[in-house]
Structure 1
Amino acid sequence: MIDLRHRMATPVAVMYFAALGAIVFWPSPVDRPIDGALMHFIGWLHGHGLPQWFIGYRKVEFAANILMFVPFGVIIAARLRRGFWWVAVMAAAVLSGLIELAQALFLPARLPAWSDIAANTSGALVGAVLLVIFRSAAASRPRRAPARP
């Protein structure tokens, strides 16, 4: 089972980074095709009692950026030695800064924002910490003896 997981890890990571690259360097905001529907849904939620301060377009976008970088934190931290998970968070911060700079310089339809760097870095932090928790739980679990034939 572990061998299958290891063999699947590289293709999954490649697919994730390809999708991430497509999203962050898409010439126009990737949510543009659904922003009207999203605003309608948020308005519907507000109309049904959800407070205005609880959810709005910027909060949804911020949360989406966090979720988008959770796998980044997991993937990078998994490649590092235990105890160096924080490097994945720093890498996310640097990469996010470079992404926002590239968007500012080369993609006029995109709006670079400091909040995107904060959200992306936060997502990587969540992913890296989840991996640390998972590894700790797995290490503390008692090992079963192999079955005898």
Structure 2
Amino acid sequence: MTQPLPEIPPRPAPPSEWVAAPVPPRPPLPAAAAGRRPGIRLPGAPIVLACYVLALALIAFWPTPVDAGAGRLLRFITRVLPVLTYERIEFLANVGLFVPLGVLLALVFARARHLVLPTVFLTTFTIECIQALLLPERTPSVMDMVANTAGGCIGLLLVAGLEALRPRR
């Protein structure tokens, strides 16, 4: 037969100066108060992005080269500024075409900026693949992918730079 365990006497209450008063939870600090600069907000950015993507799709998937009617202008530019060859003009045009995509994606993906460049790269990769498979008059190019991705990167950096210039509150 087992004996019952002896009862343990209750602890005496600590003196009142030892007991801390309950601390109410603090609300989270706003981004500006936490030492970060507030992000740029553009309420209509998703709508502008959708319109831009539509325009980009029209340019990218037009059955004939979009600069076909600009031959005279391009020849004039390359004659006046020989450093601007057709290949350089095309590269710079592709960079410029994708800067707005980088800006708009950075604004729409404000909390997931790490997705901007992969999205730009996948967009340009898809465009070049579709041009290669379905548009015989268009010429897909790895240099177009480099230029497009560089343009998206410049757009992302523009937004980040503007946010860095904003004063802290």
Give TM-score scaled by structure 1 length.
0.79
Contact 2:46–2:108 (CA<8 Å) still a contact in 1? no
Give the corresponding residue for 1:66. Answer: 95
Larger radius of gyration: 2
The structure richer in helix per residue is: 1
Give the corresponding residue for 2:142. Answer: 114
> Higher RCO, 1 or 2 (CA under 8 Å, sep at least 6)?
2
Contact 2:132–2:140 (CA<8 Å) still a contact in 1? yes
Among 54, 70, 87, which residue is 1:18 paired with?
54
How far the C-alpha of 1:142 sits from its partner, in A, is 4.9
Give the corresponding residue for 2:32. Answer: none
Contact 1:85–1:132 (CA<8 Å) still a contact in 2? no
CA distance in 2, matches of 1:118, 1:34: 23
| Seq. identity, % | 34
User: Alpha carbons of 1:86 and 1:59: their partners in 2 closer, same or farther (altered >3 Å)?
Assistant: farther
SS across alignment from 1:110? coil
RMSD: 1.8
CA distance in 2, matches of 1:27, 1:131: 33
Contact 2:106–2:156 (CA<8 Å) still a contact in 1? yes
Give the corresponding residue for 1:123. Answer: 151
* Between 98-107 and 11-20, the greater mean CA deviation after superposition: 11-20
Deviations 1:8-41 (A, max 9, x none): 4344323211111110000011001002321222
Contact 2:129–2:140 (CA<8 Å) still a contact in 1? yes
Ranges in structure 1 where 5+ consecutive residues have no aligned partner: 47-53, 144-149
CA distance in 2, matches of 1:142, 1:135: 10
